[in-house]
Amino acid sequence: MKIRLAAAALIFAIATPALAHQGFVPRDEVIHNTPEWKGERFADGRPKVPDAILDRMKNVTLEEAWATLRNAGYEQQYEDGWFTLYPDKILVGRALTSTWIPGRLDLQRVIEADGKVDGRKGGPNAWPVDMLQQRDVYVSDHFGLKVNGPSIGDNVGNAIYARSGNGIVYDGAVRDVNGLRELPNFIAFYRAYDPSHHFGRIGDEGRSLNSTMVAINGPTKIGHAAGIPGDVVLG
């Protein structure tokens, strides 16, 4: 399980980066933040890169993608230093993003209350998972949180895989690795393993809130890489 991989995740920008907006980004703002995309979009506003391009991207090397991006002026699209479940498999898909900050009770109360009004189910960590489409990659900045940090274990992993048929780029720790390995194409790039789990919802077993999800479908960062919803992810 503890295999340090020699690969990396690279986010291939297909839209002009914009400043992040706090909150759960609505469709019109996602469209506003991706003006260079002229093709089909998902209901949430994300660019829907054609499946044929995703298929072709599996044959693109990291060096080729990096050179193309750099020549186009995109300098901050590469990040390495990952663990992975399947070092010999390639991850390709469309990004759906989320961003966390260290736990903040007052903001968490607002977010959970808004979620009830919007009819969202479960805790905030489930909300982006419910939005995933086939061939999406869940790209999440959990600021590298390890102890009491994993928001993805075998239950959430199964939900991600059922909706997307794909994997994750997760800047944080995962748990239940043995269970995740039972998903044959759950190609996961993650920072660490820890047997604990996060407390990201008010009232979680009486424990202190340690992280708050502040954005879904907004511009985010994964280490030194910038990501926009709808970007093609190559790992």
> At residue 17, what is the residue type?
P
E strand map for the chain = 8-12, 23-24, 78-80, 83-84, 92-102, 136-141, 168-174, 188-193, 211-216, 220-222, 225-227, 232-234
Tell me if 29 sits within 8 A of 45, measured CB to CB: yes
The pLDDT score that the predictor gives to residue 18 is: 35
Q: Give the tens place of pLDDT for each residue, 114-157.
A: 988 988 988 899 999 999 999 999 999 999 999 999 999 999 99
Kindly report the pTM of this predicted structure.
0.88
Is pLDDT of 1 > 80?
Answer: no
Domains of the chain: 8-234 (3.50.30.40)
Whole-angstrom Cα distance, residue 84 to residue 184? 13
pLDDT-based confidence at residue 207 (cuts at 50, 70, 90): low
Backbone torsions φ then ψ of 205, nearest 5 degrees: 50, 30
Residues 34-59, mean pLDDT to the nearest whole number: 96
Place of tokens 């690969």: 7
Residues 35-41, mean pLDDT to the nearest whole number: 95
Tell me if 98 sits within 8 A of 220, measured CB to CB: yes
Burial class from Cβ neighbours inside 10 Å (0-12, 13-18, 19+) for residue 80 reads: middle
Tell me if 62 sits within 8 A of 5, measured CB to CB: no
Q: Nearest-CA neighbor of 115 among 188, 24, 210, 38?
A: 24
Residues 218-235, mean pLDDT to the nearest whole number: 96
Whole-angstrom Cα distance, residue 46 to residue 216? 12
The pLDDT score that the predictor gives to residue 24 is: 77
Considering the chain, what is the average pLDDT of its residues?
Answer: 88
